[in-house]
Amino acid sequence: MEQVLDRIERELVIAAPPERVWAALTQPEQLGAWFGTSAEVDLRPEGALTFTWEPTDASGGARHTNPAMIEVVDRPYRFVFRWRPFGGYETLPLTEGPFTRVEFTLDDHPQGTRLRVVESGFASLPPELRRVQHERNTEGWERELGELSAYLASASAPR
Amino acid sequence: MTTADAVFTALADPTRRHVLSMVVERGPVSATSLGNSLPVSRQAVVKHLAVLRSAGLVAAQRQGQEVRYELVAEALTEASDWITQLSERWDARLARLAAYLMADPHA
């Protein structure tokens, strides 16, 4: 119960070595290939991380950016940042005010890398943020689905 | 305040989430029994249960001398839908990450 409402956990095995997965998680041009449209990364604790989503033909929508603050850089095993995946509080630094924490943990695995993602802190967000986020995420999720299908339809995508 | 707002407000407190998870595991259960297993007073447990009850998360029933509490599952649905939606965003992101790395594993 506590888990269900406060955190999201995912785990997957990726057929690439941890250093390679680490690069995809932390290098701006690679983050732009799968997370957002582009990203800026100051790779150090307390460094700034900014994701940008540009509108695409497939998905429409408006350009938006999402600031994050890096907490842990332990190459290639652990990468942690805090962010606000919702609207509001734009002027308040991430050292203050509400946020959720995203933790990537990478482990060696016979097939490559076991990647674990935990996003936590949802239960302690102010309730009014949740509604805003609900609406924005509906929009964002549709946009991401559009990007995903466009990506899978492209010639370079593996089957 | 919508149902989801009331539910999340009630669940913003970690002790209250703990109380609710114990009601889920043991319900119907009395405040005294919960108080015995938690590092807070029975009085505090009663207050937490009152907040959970006003958010519609638990229902109270008198059984003899005791009031017993149990989960009302419907109140959680709207709140957990929101988390489900966020989880789906991670599923989509991680599918793109895996596809990206498989397309070019040595880049």
Question: Residue A14: helix, strand or coil by DSSP?
Answer: strand
Per-chain mean pLDDT for chain B = 85
- Report the DSSP beta bridge partners of residue A113: A14, A108
- The single-letter code of the amino acid at A137 is N
Residue of B nearest to A6 (CA): B83
**What would the pLDDT profile of A75-94 be if each residue is shown by its tens digit?**
999 999 999 876 667 778 88
Q: Are B103 and A28 in contact (CB under 8 A)?
A: no
Q: What is the pTM of this model?
A: 0.71
Closest among A100, A109, A96, A70 to A5, alpha carbons compared: A100
**What would the pLDDT profile of A1-56 be if each residue is shown by its tens digit?**
555 578 889 999 998 999 999 999 999 999 998 988 899 999 999 999 999 888 76
B64 touches chain A (CB under 8 A): no
**What would the pLDDT profile of A99-123 be if each residue is shown by its tens digit?**
999 999 999 999 999 999 999 988 7
> CA A47 to CA A41: how far, in whole Å?
7
Q: Which of A2, A119, A137 sits opposite B17 (nearest CB)?
A: A2
CB contact (8 A) between residue A119 and residue B90? yes
Closest among A71, A67, A82 to A124, alpha carbons compared: A82
Residue of B nearest to A1 (CA): B21
